[in-house]
Amino acid sequence: MSPLTITLRDAATGPVLEITGDLDYATAPELRTAVDTLIVPAGQLLVVDLARLEFCDSSGISALLAARNRATEQDATMALASVPDNTARILRIVGLDRIFTMHPDTSTAVATRSSAAS
């Protein structure tokens, strides 16, 4: 079991949350807390970078949905970046690949949003 680390950084399009470690029943509340205190300005993009995610269970997926809902409440959008294959597979199986916008990496998510805003 890897501890969860959440790192916040800013991009031109909005905040980026980098998730490292295991996102599961024990750690999902940490992501929910981080997102609950996060302000995403209207029209901005929240990117959740999962490049270093090692494990994600249903509680983790629920926390990702809560993050998306929080962004929506603030009239912002959310995208997942660098989704590990096993997590992407689960998202496809349960149909959440139609709910989450997914990009191969953070720079693509930011570039896509930047070009759409132009």
pLDDT in tens, 74-98: 999 999 999 999 999 999 999 999 9
Q: For 28-54, what is each residue's pLDDT tens digit?
A: 999 999 999 999 999 999 999 999 999
Cα gap 17→116, rounded to integer Å: 21
Give residue 57's pLDDT: 96
| CATH number of this structure's domain 5-111 | 3.30.750.24
Give residue 31's pLDDT: 97
Under the banding of pLDDT at 50, 70 and 90, the label for residue 1 is confident
Place of tokens 């990496």: 105
Cα gap 29→43, rounded to integer Å: 26
Query: Burial code of 31-43, b = ≥16 C-beta within 10 A, e = fewer?
Result: bbebbeebebeee
Task: Specify the length of the chain in residues.
Answer: 118
Q: For 56-66, what is each residue's pLDDT tens digit?
A: 999 999 999 99
Three-state secondary-structure class, residue 36: helix
pTM, whole model, 2 decimals? Answer: 0.93
